[in-house]
Amino acid sequence: MLTPAANEMLTRVGPGTPMGNLMREYWIPACLSSELKADGEPMRLMLLGEQLVAFRDTNGKIGIMEHRCPHRCASLFFGRNEEGGLRCVYHGWKFDVEGNCVDMPNVPAAQDFKHRIKAKAYKVVERSGFAWTYMGKREQPPELPNIEIMMLPEEERVTRVHMRECNWFQSLEGDIDTSHFGFLHVGGVEMEDVSPNDMNRWAVADRAPDYKATETEWGTMYAAYRPADPGSVYYRFAHFMFPFITLTPNGYFEDQLACTLNVPMDDTHTMTYNLAWKKKTRPLETLKNGDWIPGLQPQVEYLPNTNDWFGRWRLVARRENDYFIDRDMQKNVNYSGIQGIGRQDQAMIECMGEIVDRSLEHLAPSDRMIAITRKRLLEAAQTLMREGKAPATVDDPDIYRRARGGAFIAPDSMDWLDAYADKLKTALSPLGLLQRLPLAAE
């Protein structure tokens, strides 16, 4: 459990908060590139507790800035996106993507002072289908993270996005909690239901694995492990990577190029992005007869987007309708009565409340990864606050390339970290230009 003070530090991300300051050391995925059209309508954007407006100008460049016009604080969401800038409709002041005031038409030319006016704007770059923004204090921002899945050509990736109505770390904790997989997702499946050629059958053969966990340069990592065939161990590896990235274990390690980004919109709303390589082997989703495991077939439906601060990528299945839980299905078909892995996860993390009170918890050995990740984040935020020192991943984005999630079988005589390092050397990388880095820095 955490004290209320520690929980407050862990969850709050607004300007000036310790965790918010840590987040601002990194580039943040602000939105999908496809959400903004040249000279199209501006978009309200809530990010790290700040009310912003995003737009793409005539030349295709993206601007992300404070939504209040620096003249009289009218919202630039109502602005005209025209001829290389965003014009406030109140008095016509116009701003380019860098926040420079380029026109002040309601002021006589002799009294014009536009060169002294600048809207608060953040640096923006586009990569991997995202508009990334840097909200920190550095004059020269760091490099973007070199995560394999994000460096693939866009046509080789699938990206799914949805908003969660809960705190960012609540969302992230669900990604690094492996023991729930055998219950929430496949609680109604027995080992004999799964193909004997699928090594993931061991995940349902033993729903109470042992765990190893450790801190890493990129954050934290764990392995849940169980006996497999005689002389071998079935491992499921996963990672937390600063500041809000996870690599989950549900896939074959050899080609498990995937990651999840839990981007804080504010303290009680999270935009979750799931990225995966289209060519990766499918994880445990079907029975040996080829049918979907009951309850796992995806059903992702969105409400129509609105212009509200929290109006994008909202799922139809939500807290207000109990995620369409089917009690008859729960008794007779699948364990949870909720359809789809994503919906099942969302129900569990949102039903805790907008920000869970962690002082009420009773953690178990299966929560070891969650405990050390909390510790790692809190220590990183405190170190930045006291010493001005950011985690190593800020200035060395190649560190991320030492991490991969997924499952594999290894000899039971092999140390878990040695098994991981050995598998990492031979894991498939579709990017020939990337040379696999060692587990630890030299």
pLDDT in tens, 315-368: 999 999 999 999 999 998 889 999 988 899 999 999 999 999 999 999 999 999
What CA–CA distance (Å, rounded) separates 356 from 266? 15
Residue 435 confidence (pLDDT) = 46
* Closest alpha carbon to 28 in 140, 151, 125: 125
* 424 or 58, higher pLDDT: 58
Residues 147-166, mean pLDDT to the nearest whole number: 92
Task: Return residue ranges of the chain for CATH 2.102.10.10.
Answer: 27-134
Residue 422 confidence (pLDDT) = 92
Strand partners, 158: 276
Lowest model confidence (mean pLDDT) among 29-43, 112-126, 271-285: 271-285
What CA–CA distance (Å, rounded) separates 190 from 284? 12
At 367 the three-state DSSP class reads helix
Residue 90 confidence (pLDDT) = 96
The chain-wide mean pLDDT, for the chain, equals 92
What CA–CA distance (Å, rounded) separates 70 from 74? 8
The CATH number that domain 27-134 falls under is: 2.102.10.10
Residue 243 confidence (pLDDT) = 98
The percent of residues above 70 in pLDDT, for the chain, comes to 96
Q: What is the DSSP string of 18-50?
A: HHHHHHTTSEEEEEEGGG--BT---EEEEETTE
Residues 71-96, mean pLDDT to the nearest whole number: 97
Topology given in CATH for the domain delimited by 148-426 = Naphthalene 1,2-dioxygenase Alpha Subunit; Chain A, domain 1 (3.90.380)
Residue 426 confidence (pLDDT) = 83
Q: Which residues contact 290 (CB under 8 A, 6 or more apart)?
A: none
Find the distance separating the first CA and the last CA of the chain, reported in whole Å: 35
Task: Return residue ranges of the chain for CATH 3.90.380.
Answer: 148-426
For 410-437, the pLDDT digits (tens) are 999 999 999 999 998 888 776 654 444 4
Side chain identity, residue 295: G
For 258-284, the pLDDT digits (tens) are 999 999 999 999 999 999 998 888 777
Q: Which residues contact 283 (CB under 8 A, 6 or more apart)?
A: 200, 250, 251, 252, 407
* 197 or 128, higher pLDDT: 128
Residues 42-61, mean pLDDT to the nearest whole number: 98
**Most confident of the ranges 164-168, 289-293, 438-442:** 164-168
Confidence bin at 291 (pLDDT 50/70/90): confident
Residue 287 confidence (pLDDT) = 74
Write down the pTM of the prediction.
Answer: 0.94
